[in-house]
Amino acid sequence: MVRTCFYDRISEKRIAAEALARQKLQEALDAPPAVIEPEPVAVVSLQPARNELTVAGLHLVMPQGFNFRDIDTTLEKHGHPVTFCAKRRPAPDELTLQRSVELYVENLRKNYPDVTIVRQSDRLLAGSPAIALDYIFTAGQERRHGRATSALINAVDGDERQWFSISTIINPAHAELADWLIEFDAMLDAIAAN
């Protein structure tokens, strides 16, 4: 029995390991790609008769019979104002999501004639198909950046669809607000039923 040199045996092991790694890589490349199923998204229904707000840790429940329609508020981040709005309206059966966005833009143009639509993209809002709209305009002498996300969502009782929109407006010149739109989208992604 002839024994090879110690260094030859190490080299043979290395060469065999490299060949095995190449073979596994080739098998992985030849294999069909794995299909990753997306996590199902829970669709959240609106509960028009249930209206609650938590502000500064205080939970405010609206009296029975009062239905939410508009919330317009100014938040503050690092000393800079951030406009936040939420709106809800009954949506007739013939209203499409795209048409609701067109109506939203028409209303923007009435208030801000110089509005420019920057981007329109599909997304989800409370598990329902939605459209996010980014736009810029001038307020006084300052630029503003707005983002509105709108969806048509069924009410929990199933009687009536609702148009639901959440929007924000910032002054993009403030570096302290650079992450706000990312935080805003994360906030929308976290919407859940109580």
pTM of the model: 0.73
What angle is formed at CA 88 by the lines to CA 166 and CA 178, rounded to 5 degrees? 10
Residue 56: predicted pLDDT: 79
Residue 41: predicted pLDDT: 65
What are the structural domains of the chain? 52-189 (3.40.1000.10)
pLDDT in tens, the chain (194 residues): 556 665 566 677 778 878 888 887 777 777 776 666 666 667 777 776 777 777 778 888 888 878 888 989 999 999 999 999 999 888 898 999 999 999 999 999 999 999 999 999 999 988 889 999 999 999 888 899 999 999 998 877 666 888 999 999 999 999 999 899 999 999 998 886 65
Distance separating alpha carbons of residues 142 and 139, to the nearest angstrom: 5
Q: Which positions ≥6 away from 80 have C-beta within 8 Å?
A: 170, 171, 174, 176, 177
CB atoms within 10 A of CB 96: 11
